[in-house]
Amino acid sequence: MPSRLSAKHWIGGDWVDSSLRRESVDPATGEPIGTYADGGASEAALAVAAARRAFVDSPWRGDRRLRARTPNVMADRFEARAEDLVEILALENGKIVPEARFEVGRVASKLRFYAALALTEFGRAIETAPGRYSTTLREPMGVAGVIAPWNSPVVLFIRSLAPALAAGCTVVGKLPGLTAQTNARMCEVFAEVETLPAGVVNVVTELHGDAARAIVDSPDVPIISLTGSSKTGQQIMASGAKHMKRFGGELGGKTPILLFDDADLDRALPVVEKALTTFAGQFCMTGSRLLVHRAILDRVRDGLATRLEAVRVGRASDPASQMGPMIDRANVERVDKVVEEAIAAGARVVTRGGPLRNGPLSRGAFHRPTLLEIDDHRLPIAQEEVFGPVLVMQAFDAEAEAVALANDSQYGLAASIWSSDVDRPLRVARLIDAGTVWVNDWAVVHDETEEGGYKQSGLGRLNGVSAMDDFVEHKTIVHGVRL
């Protein structure tokens, strides 16, 4: 890897610089690792124009075999460059190497899954009356705007990109400045795919929101696919309303983990720990609420405190690290403030993590895991997404109470149920307001199965066959035949 990294935008098949360049920073040390072009409205306009030209002039939207072949080539290239991507993702994003490897490893399978669907994206034809035939086509919407976050920039961009390409759309990606070097490495892969027409995939990197707003406001972008916060989703929906813009995406979450009195704690507690510490808690499906049957509360409290206090926090590249840094110091201080406010509001400290302010890691963005216990589920710490390694625990006495507590949230992205009973998990899962419910597991996601949220956690679905629905229009052609 070069000692000084440099990243630009990828627009219309070319590398494009900006007049404003910012520093990329290693969150483990706070030290700069390179610079990147920070885009804005002008770069977004260039990208939208390139994507529109490619949609109108290239063979992409009309050649489904090209749309099936190209993502397979792309998948091969991602696999060939996987370790390079893993290295830069771990350095710039901070997730430990096994987590970075897991993220990059999911890319090829997503591309191949939707490449196969490109060949099976069928409409339908029916005879609606004697001599009258109705054909319904599924046509690509046009230019899709894909806005992806910094916490998993590779796989979350590909998760929207792959179905958009399979549907025949061209894409303008707006990716975060905090992972600019990772974004550029992804674009190097796109540049290697000879069958990908120029302008079909475009990527603008920015730190703030000018480029995103320009994409959302453009009448040439009929669909926005977002992975981000619920607040950002609301803003995009409001801004896009003037163009009747379609919106789909996965938004915020406050995932409850329900531990019933017959849960296998030897299996459950390691998963609860992992659900909190994965990506340093910067994950939409982070297990941030723990609902525990009162009969096992003491065992869970003691066992989990022991596990969390033993978590090895360190640099992503250190094989001994179990949890890496957060994305930057500003987020560390934000999370610490949230914890202090929760304690002041009545939350009890089981184990107080907090920022590492002394020692060899003190210059990095490190925050140790924190476990709090509450009695009042309406406290902000139980209702608002923290996006950091903070877990709040509350006791329940009955199944109905557990369900009510789990559903007492503006979010509905995911939930996890732990029980050895045969009937209870399915019974409870049917009552939980969440797009994904795991039984005796957590964060198991497959390309073939839909993923998305209820309530403030999103609209539409990503992954699975349904993901293509966001990117197509239905056109009905009625043909009368003289018999």
**Catalytic residues, which ones?**
250, 284
Residue found by looking up tokens 């070319």 in the block: 14
Q: Are 428 and 400 in contact (CB under 8 A)?
A: no
CA dihedral 187, 192, 193, 196 (to 10 degrees): 60
Rounded Cα distance, 268 and 272, in Å: 6
Contacts of 429 (CB under 8 A, 6+ apart): 415, 417, 437, 439
Residue found by looking up tokens 């400290």 in the block: 349
Tell me which residue of 249, 307, 250 sits closest to 276, measured CA to CA. 307
> Which residue blocks in 241-296 are alpha helix, DSSP H?
265-277
CA 343 to chain centre: 30
Q: How far is CA 312 from CA 80, 114, 265, 357, 434, in A?
A: 31, 38, 22, 16, 32
DSSP state of 433: -
Structure tokens at 177: 């400045």
Rounded Cα distance, 140 and 149, in Å: 25
Q: Are 287 and 272 in contact (CB under 8 A)?
A: yes
First to last CA, the chain: 71
